[in-house]
Structure 1
Amino acid sequence: MTAIILLAIVVILVLCYVLIFNRFVALRNEVKNAFAQIDVQLKRRYDLIPNLVEVAKGYMQHEQQTLEAVIAARSQAVSAVQQVRSKPSDGAAMLALAGAEGVLEAGLGRLMALSEAYPDLKADQQMQRLSEEIASTENRIGFARQAYNDTVLAFNTATEVFPSNIVARLNNFPSLPMLESTRSEAERQAPQVRFGS
């Protein structure tokens, strides 16, 4: 009778282990899928940037340094996203991507701010269309980042709670880094609207 009870306990423990392991595999695949959604939107933005710079170049001869900085930041971000793509669980690669995205977003912000000083550029139909597409893509990136972070949160919670934390340690399922927004607190604030004083 004792042997049957011990066998039943071992079978239950093995089943629990397999179920938890399979849950980690499913969660890891969900994280990869969530990052793939971010990757699609980042690629779209990276493809739009050279067109935006090319349109701006015709009007902004004196802002060559800004235009070059945007292209350099784009190249750095493309390289960083390729690193994350090859190792999505690498925290250092994710931090490098967040940093590269911050530099790119700052460069794009400067480019858009400078374009306000050029009325002909601001009125250019291509520039308006590209600006709208980039703004739309930024929103999509934000939504994809939120979905990614939600998935990472579920994965990380599973790596920390008992008994799945034991399975995580035994099978090298480390906690994954979140993809933080690279916008500053001031940029995230809602604009202040005031009507006649």
Structure 2
Amino acid sequence: MGWVALLVVGALLVWAVSIYNGLIKARNAFRNAYAQIDVQLQRRHDLIPNLVETAKAYLAHERSTLEAVIQARNSALQAASAAKGHAGEALPMQQLATAENALSQSLGRLFALAENYPDLKSNQTMAQLSEELASTENRVAFSRQAFNDQVMSYNNRRETFPGNLLAAAFGFIAATLLEIKSSDAHMRDVPKLSFD
């Protein structure tokens, strides 16, 4: 009878260790996925000063727009730095999303303004920087999707039976998704056709 009890305790211990290790692996996976976002955001942030510097010569009297882009970039850098060690935590993820959304909006205003300056639109450096920024935006979106997928997987593991039995006891808190709105969201809208 003692062997049976020992086997049951041993099986429960193996089961608990398995669940704990699964939660650790899932948490590490979404943290790693966030590291990929961080790389792309850093690339994005590094491109912006060059973009603003190129635009300065053409948009000298549009200083407020250029300053807004730089201010939004600096806020996004601070939010990214604060989120770096806190991937998945609600407040840093919300602050990062807010800062990145503000940066996307200010960049959108810069590009809309640039449309009114043919010389700026045709500038090779501006075109190259714009293309690199668009490519980086795509990478950010892809990395964010991978991160959010890993967060969902972790949260599912944490909230479903039997993981939920041990998750709270070992301090596994819910992870928060990162929702950065694309500055090109209007491009996903269905085009309106008119045959009038």
Tell me if both proteins adopt one fold, taking TM over 0.5 as the criterion.
yes
Match of 1:104 in 2: 103
Superposition deviation, residue 169 in structure 1:
0.5
Answer whether contact 2:88 2:151 (CA < 8 A) is retained: no
Answer whether contact 1:102 1:182 (CA < 8 A) is retained: yes
Match of 1:159 in 2: 158
Match of 1:48 in 2: 47
- TM-score, normalization: structure 2? 0.94
Match of 2:23 in 1: 24
Amino-acid identity (%):
46
Distance 2:89 2:76 in 1: 16
Match of 1:190 in 2: 189
Say which SS state the counterpart of residue 162 (structure 1) adopts. coil
The RMSD of aligned alpha carbons is: 1.8
Q: Deviations over 1:127-177 (max 9, x none)?
A: 000000000100111100000000000000011101101111111111100
Question: Does the alignment pair 1:63 with 2:62?
Answer: yes
Answer whether contact 2:108 2:183 (CA < 8 A) is retained: no
Superposition deviation, residue 183 in structure 1:
3.7
Letter in 1 for 2:160: V
Match of 1:128 in 2: 127
Runs (4 or more) in structure 1 with deviation over 3 Å come to 183-186, 193-197
For structure 2, the residue ranges without an aligned partner over 5 or more in a row are none
Q: Deviations over 1:22-59 (max 9, x none)?
A: 11111111111100111111000000000000000010
Letter in 1 for 2:119: D
Distance 2:109 2:21 in 1: 47
Distance 2:142 2:136 in 1: 10
Count of matched residue pairs: 196
Distance 2:184 2:13 in 1: 48
